[in-house]
């Protein structure tokens, strides 16, 4: 029921870029990846799509530890560090999912180095990082869900002035301002595992010194997505702050 209204609304919004922050499947089965592929094909392009921990096979030991992201690469994209750049933004995806960590995720030093390398030449654009696991969370949520080596990654983001960090994993929506970046946690657009929050997605409008975030949430009564919350951020000399 949510599927078709979501696609129609996204086409009406006509985004310049779509970011999908992982967990396209529940158990990384081929049929689930096929359905996810069809869904992504129905959405506008370009897209940055990264895997989540649910996109790693759970019960098939060979697939989990040997082929790992084989189905994701076959059905979704073989590029695990997708990059998009135009005159206003530079967006990079990073794969934080791991076979050895069933729910959590992590980044390694090579990935962190490539984040800095990619964004080094994008100083005139708003820099956006897309990952499944969060790199920073409000204090009341604790740090158990943070990506492994988050501090190392955050230091690199600060050095190359990342502006926006988009993540998923928690199935709930929130935004916060960290050291130098705005951290946006997406809800779940289609999953029935709502964690007490209706299906939703974020629309982010970006200018050089201004970012607006609008959450669209599913209304079970009208069977439509509608705008339910909005926030604005402005850039100052010390970094981003909430308007």
Task: Encode pLDDT of 134-180 as tens digits.
Answer: 998 876 766 777 888 999 999 999 999 999 999 998 777 878 887 67
What the block records as the tokens of 224 is 């439509």
Residue 102 phi, psi dihedral angles, 5° rounding: -65, -40
Q: What is residue 131's predicted lDDT score, i.e. its pLDDT?
A: 96
Q: Mean pLDDT over residues 72-86, rounded?
A: 95
Q: Is the pLDDT of residue 62 over 50?
A: no
Q: What is residue 169's predicted lDDT score, i.e. its pLDDT?
A: 83
Q: Mean pLDDT over residues 183-196, rounded?
A: 84
Q: What is residue 63's predicted lDDT score, i.e. its pLDDT?
A: 47
For every residue of 140-167, which 3-state class applies, written as one string? Answer: HHCCCCCCECHHHHHHHHHHCCCCEEEE
Q: What is residue 101's predicted lDDT score, i.e. its pLDDT?
A: 52
Q: What is residue 43's predicted lDDT score, i.e. its pLDDT?
A: 97
Asked whether the beta carbons of 230 and 42 are under 8 A apart, the reply is no
Report, at the CATH architecture level, how domain 8-201 is classified: 4-Layer Sandwich (3.60)
Kindly indicate the confidence band of residue 54, based on its pLDDT and cuts at 50, 70 and 90. confident
- Domain residue ranges of the chain, discontinuous segments joined by +: 8-201
pTM: 0.92
Kindly indicate the confidence band of residue 237, based on its pLDDT and cuts at 50, 70 and 90. confident
Q: What is residue 110's predicted lDDT score, i.e. its pLDDT?
A: 96
Kindly indicate the confidence band of residue 191, based on its pLDDT and cuts at 50, 70 and 90. confident
Q: What is residue 161's predicted lDDT score, i.e. its pLDDT?
A: 93
> Cis bond leading into 204, ω under 30°?
no
Q: What is residue 69's predicted lDDT score, i.e. its pLDDT?
A: 82
Buried b (16+ CB within 10 A) or exposed e, 163-177: bbbbbbbbbbbebbe
Q: Is the pLDDT of residue 66 over 80?
A: no
Q: Give per-residue pLDDT as tens, 82-120.
A: 999 999 999 999 999 986 555 678 999 999 999 999 999
Q: What is residue 23's predicted lDDT score, i.e. its pLDDT?
A: 92
């Amino acid at each position: 029921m949510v599927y078709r209204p979501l696609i129609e609304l996204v086409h009406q919004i006509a985004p310049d870029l779509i970011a999908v922050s992982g967990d396209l499947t529940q158990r990384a089965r081929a049929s689930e990846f096929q359905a996810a592929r069809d869904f992504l094909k129905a959405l506008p392009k370009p897209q940055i799509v990264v895997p989540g921990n649910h996109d790693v096979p759970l019960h098939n030991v060979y697939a989990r530890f040997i082929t790992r992201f084989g189905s994701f690469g076959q059905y979704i994209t073989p590029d695990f560090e997708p990059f998009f750049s135009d005159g206003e933004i530079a967006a990079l995806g990073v794969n934080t999912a791991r076979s050895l960590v069933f729910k959590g995720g992590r980044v390694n030093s090579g990935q962190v180095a490539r984040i800095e390398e990619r964004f080094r030449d994008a100083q005139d654009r708003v820099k956006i990082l897309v990952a499944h696991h969060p790199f920073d969370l409000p204090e009341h949520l604790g740090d158990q869900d943070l990506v492994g080596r988050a501090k190392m990654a955050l230091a690199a983001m600060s050095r190359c002035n990342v502006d926006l960090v988009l993540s998923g994993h928690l199935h709930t929506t929130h935004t916060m301002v960290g050291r130098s970046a705005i951290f946006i946690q997406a809800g779940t657009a289609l999953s029935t595992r709502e964690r007490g929050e209706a299906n939703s997605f974020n629309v982010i409008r970006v200018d050089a010194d201004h970012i607006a975030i609008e959450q669209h949430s599913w209304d079970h009564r009208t069977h439509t997505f509608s705008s339910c919350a909005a926030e604005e951020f402005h850039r100052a000399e010390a970094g981003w702050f909430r308007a």
